[in-house]
Structure 1
């Protein structure tokens, strides 16, 4: 089953509309969608290593634009949209207390969430809700997401075939590690 899902993802990564799909996933992941763009980005780069930098750029631009949507949700629609998204992640009750401390460390929070498996959408919504300066938010988002996506692209571009072989030979292990990172990010959000 995992092998057929992997094969289907690789085929999707080679599809002419794959860049658009990546852009949509990266955009939505930054504000409301739980699945990170790496799910498409990694197979896309493995399928077409010569486009690694373009793929990373598409993910970066779409992710930062999606982050701005998350910021707007926090700033203008926190009660109707942002609160339910954060409450679903177990962060609704702690928001008032967190508001006062967040902007003191806002740069580091955005940078950390943008680079790590921590759900970036939580930080984008909270940045808008707490009134973090938009310029700081955008600049930090660009830095963090560029670091994340271009490092992944560089590693896959430089070591693509060995990494692809490793993934294909250990597909179950790779899936398990991915799920641990994804769930771990949500657990961090819930209990921080």
Structure 2
């Protein structure tokens, strides 16, 4: 089944198979494929939101980096992602929202740590077991951080030190005891 995604009054772009495209929302949502990596699709360049759910992607590489997309939101939910390349988010300088819930990530990937434009990062229900003091230091725009239902047991001192915009943090259902000095330095306004 093929559906058309109208970018302008002049031309139409084919919506990728097994996807839903919404012209008004400038979004593409796909479900039900099994890939080893990100699917190579003809994604309309006007798309701002791309969602993949219930997939078997395993590895998030830099497949989309050279597509000329100006994505603001990427959601890979329940896609069995266990690894992301260092360049996976290269070219997405205006990415604001990254949701990677219900995957198999054991750490916050390096490519995320260097994506300073991210404001909403959700990685609940993964296998993250540790965080380093510099994991979030470059994410100065971060407002929402969700890491619930992971295996995190300890929070390094000053892990949230540089996150002056942080408003919401969810670390529920981890195995966190106390921070090394007995308290957690975090300021939420």
TM-score normalised by length of structure 2: 0.25
Which has the larger share of strand?
Answer: 2
Give the number of the structure with larger relative contact order, counting CA–CA contacts within 8 Å between residues 6 or more apart: 1
Which has the larger share of helix?
Answer: 1
